């Protein structure tokens, strides 16, 4: 048993729903108790879909338990076929139905429907959402993929794009960017799957020359299968960030045997110039903590370090399947990766790393809010505001533009930070003033009061499990406390912690002005 308040991933059948909902002409019959239909609203509310997911639930109740549930399942499959007339069906069990041990695959097969019916084995007590999505897509591809390429002399190069799903973080817009790049290179797209594909489209997968795997968590297994079965090479570089996109363009061009120049020559992204412009100088060595799914966390770490000049002080993922890659990347930054699906561990790691910016999921957004830190979202799980109406990709050259704006926005603009340092005794720029991009409720009133207590100290964690204070009771001398307040709020927490650590290490019970500056000299900025 694991004590859980928040879970980064849903159960595996949610992953299967993401595949089914992404596709057309596919129906999912899920053996599940009454109540599991809650998952519908992830799609209708968070992603704002305009139709119910193509899922029929058996919604059995206590009175149905016993021999009845198998019959209920068969009725549900038969009725779903009659009503929706899908081209193919997937059938499986949710966590509770897994326990009652009806056999969805066998029961469905017994109905002898005139369409492919693909059974799913999704172990709900071992695996999670992304695994469920990957396994479902793999099973579908394995069951349905067919076709052979026509000779290359008669046509342009042809590829499949694999990975985008329903409820995927920016999958809709990433696809637009990738399609644009492929078009610019003169490569035709054979099938995009699962998003928007029909079972018949999966039947044509074999006709392509190679595969582009956009989200390895979801499509690597299917890509490997296609590689083995049809000899299709696989481009697996995730084109998030300028460097990664350039590499992606080169790899795709190589796989297709085309010239990458038409795409690379077009001054494709503004990120490099924005990052070199002097206003960005203040971004140098900004301490950033990164957490998310492996694909997005790895990409973010590279962009942060090599394209924005940040210092990566924390890196982690909840995707255990890719823990090795993330550990290797963390080692490059001289840190140890945080591999966990417990958000309390992540919170502790963030507190320990004392970042100036957090890049993470919806949970890290809340953690950062609690700690008073700027934050941007880079990965699922996400809430409704991260399915925006506007075009907002992460991938490709436009994606890099989006990332620059999204990550820099929560930080103070360079000029603003400078002014705050220079005029910090002024009414407008006093130490307790929040950056204009980071509104803080209730601080406006005290802002003009001058010597008001700064609101921006990271609050001490309310939970009783957080590390107790050291044995020495530290006291701040009045003038040292006053001096601390003159330090801009966004580094004040770090300055306080560093000073106290310095004092504790030297067993100094009283922190004076000298201690403060000794510590500053010791640790540097």
Catalytic site residues? 279
Given the complex with other proteins, which of 79 and 306 has the nearer CB atom?
79
Give the number of other Cβ atoms within 10 Å of residue 365's Cβ: 21
Q: Confirm or reject binding of residue 411 to other proteins (CB under 8 A).
A: no
Q: Which residues of 206-241 are buried (b: 16+ CB within 10 A; e: fewer)?
A: bbbbbbbbbbbbbbbbbbebbeeebebbbbbbbbbb
**Which of 128, 171, 302, 496 contacts other proteins by CB under 8 A?**
128
Which helix (DSSP H) or strand (DSSP E) does residue 188 occupy?
Answer: strand 188-193
* Shortest CB 63 distance to other proteins, Å: 6
Segment near other proteins (CB under 8 A), from 34-42, 259-267, 292-300, 507-515?
34-42
Q: In whole angstroms, what is the distance from residue 85 CA to residue 9 CA? A: 31
CA-closest candidate to residue 139, choices 204, 80, 92: 92
Q: Confirm or reject binding of residue 436 to other proteins (CB under 8 A).
A: no
Q: Confirm or reject binding of residue 35 to other proteins (CB under 8 A).
A: yes
Q: In whole angstroms, what is the distance from residue 314 CA to residue 335 CA? A: 7
* Shortest CB 464 distance to other proteins, Å: 6
**Which of 152, 155, 324, 383 contacts other proteins by CB under 8 A?**
383
Q: Confirm or reject binding of residue 6 to other proteins (CB under 8 A).
A: yes
Residues 6+ apart with CB under 8 A from 271: 242, 307, 400, 401, 403, 404
**Which of 66, 114, 126, 436 contacts other proteins by CB under 8 A?**
126
Q: Confirm or reject binding of residue 215 to other proteins (CB under 8 A).
A: no
CB 414 within 8 A of CB 279: yes
Segment near other proteins (CB under 8 A), from 123-131, 210-218, 237-245, 475-483?
123-131
# binding residues, other proteins (CB under 8 A) = 61
* Shortest CB 352 distance to other proteins, Å: 19
Token pair belonging to 465 = 């499990």
Segment near other proteins (CB under 8 A), from 28-36, 206-214, 217-225, 352-360?
28-36
Binders of other proteins among residues 74 to 93 (CB under 8 A) are: 76, 79, 83
Which helix (DSSP H) or strand (DSSP E) does residue 291 occupy?
Answer: strand 287-292
Q: In whole angstroms, what is the distance from residue 345 CA to residue 339 CA? A: 9
Q: Confirm or reject binding of residue 153 to other proteins (CB under 8 A).
A: no
Note if the bond before 381 is cis, omega within 30 degrees. Answer: yes
Binders of other proteins among residues 48 to 67 (CB under 8 A) are: 48-52, 56-65
Q: Confirm or reject binding of residue 4 to other proteins (CB under 8 A).
A: yes
Alpha-carbon distance values, 103 to 56, 94, 191, 389 (Å): 17, 12, 32, 42
CB 5 within 8 A of CB 345: no
Give the binding site for other proteins (CB under 8 A): 1-7, 9-11, 13-14, 33-42, 44-45, 48-52, 56-65, 76, 79, 83, 94-96, 99-100, 123-126, 128, 363, 366, 369-370, 383, 462-465
């Amino acid at each position: 048993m694991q004590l859980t308040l928040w879970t980064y991933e849903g159960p595996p059948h949610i992953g299967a729903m993401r595949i089914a909902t992404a596709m057309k002409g596919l129906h999912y019959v899920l053996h599940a108790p009454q109540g599991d239909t809650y998952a519908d609203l992830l799609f209708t509310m968070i992603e704002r879909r305009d139709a119910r997911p193509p899922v029929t639930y058996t919604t059995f109740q206590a009175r149905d338990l016993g021999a009845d549930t198998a019959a209920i399942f068969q009725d549900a499959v038969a009725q779903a076929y009659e009503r929706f007339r899908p081209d193919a069906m997937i059938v499986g069990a949710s966590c509770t139905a897994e326990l009652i041990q009806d056999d969805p695959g066998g029961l469905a097969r017994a109905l002898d429907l005139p369409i492919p019916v693909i059974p799913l084995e999704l172990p709900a007590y071992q695996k999670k959402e992304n695994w469920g999505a990957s396994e479902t897509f793999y099973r579908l591809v394995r069951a349905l993929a067919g076709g052979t390429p026509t000779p290359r002399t008669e046509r342009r190069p042809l590829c499949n794009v694999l990975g985008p799903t329903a409820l995927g973080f920016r999958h809709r817009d990433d696809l637009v960017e990738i399609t644009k790049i492929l078009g610019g290179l003169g490569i035709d797209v054979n099938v995009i799957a699962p998003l928007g594909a029909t079972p018949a489209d999966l039947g044509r997968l074999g006709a392509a020359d190679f595969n582009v795997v956009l989200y390895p968590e979801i499509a690597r297994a299917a890509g490997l299968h296609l590689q083995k079965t049809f000899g299709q090479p696989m481009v697996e570089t995730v084109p998030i960030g300028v460097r990664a996109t350039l590499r992606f363009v080169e790899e795709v061009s190589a796989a297709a045997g085309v010239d990458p120049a038409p795409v690379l020559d077009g001054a494709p992204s503004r990120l490099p110039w924005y990052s070199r412009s002097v206003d960005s100088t203040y971004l140098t060595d900004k301490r950033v903590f990164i957490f998310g799914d492996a694909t997005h966390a790895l990409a973010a770490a590279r962009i942060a370090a090599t394209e924005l000049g940040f210092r990566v002080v924390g890196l982690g993922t909840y995707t255990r399947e890719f823990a090795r890659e993330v550990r290797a990347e963390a080692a490059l930054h001289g840190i140890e990766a945080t591999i966990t699906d417990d958000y309390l561990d992540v919170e502790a790691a963030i507190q320990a790393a004392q970042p100036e910016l957090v890049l993470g999921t919806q949970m890290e957004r809340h953690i950062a809010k609690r700690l008073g830190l700027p934050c941007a979202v880079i990965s699922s799980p996400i809430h409704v505001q991260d399915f925006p109406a506007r075009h907002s990709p992460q991938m490709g050259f436009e994606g890099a533009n989006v990332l620059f704006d999204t990550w820099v926005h929560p930080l103070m603009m360079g000029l603003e930070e400078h002014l705050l340092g220079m005029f910090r005794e002024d009414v407008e720029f006093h130490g307790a003033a929040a950056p204009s991009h980071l509104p803080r409720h209730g601080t406006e009133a005290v802002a003009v009061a001058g010597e008001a207590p700064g609101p921006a100290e990271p609050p001490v964690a309310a939970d009783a499990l957080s590390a107790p204070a050291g044995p020495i009771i530290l006291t701040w001398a009045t003038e040292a406390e006053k001096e601390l307040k003159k330090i801009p709020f966004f580094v004040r927490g770090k300055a306080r912690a560093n000073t106290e650590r310095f004092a504790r290490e030297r067993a100094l019970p009283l922190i004076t002005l000298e201690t403060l500056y000794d510590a500053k000299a010791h640790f540097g900025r």
